[in-house]
Amino acid sequence: MKNLNVAEAKNTLTQLLQEVEAGERITICRHGKPVADLVPTRQTARTAPKLGAFAGKRVEVDPDWWKPMSDEEAEAFIDGKY
């Protein structure tokens, strides 16, 4: 493990990141007291989105979707019943 003060870390950040990528752990100190650790991050496995997730699902579209609500429907919507 390597200890550096804040100024050294600031001036050599690129090199420090390369060392961390290689597996080194680095502690940054302020006035001799540790304040932060630079450690390699754990890689998370990213999964690709599933294409065709809605394949085979039935979707019904109201042919009058574009028409405005009636007063009763609007009241029910406002009251949270819709």
- CA 82 to CA 75: how far, in whole Å? 9
Please state whether the predicted TM-score (pTM) of the whole model is above 0.85: no
36 contacts 10 by C-beta, under 8 angstroms: no
Query: Would you state the pLDDT for residue 81?
Result: 79
Protein fold of 2-38: YefM-like fold (3.40.1620)
Confidence of residue 82 (pLDDT cuts 50, 70, 90): low
More confident residue, 3 or 44: 3
Give pLDDT tens digits for 23-60: 899 999 999 999 999 999 887 677 777 788 778 888 78
Encode 38-72: b = buried (16+ Cβ within 10 Å), e = exposed. beeeeeeeeeeeeeeeeeeeeeeeeeeeeeeeeee
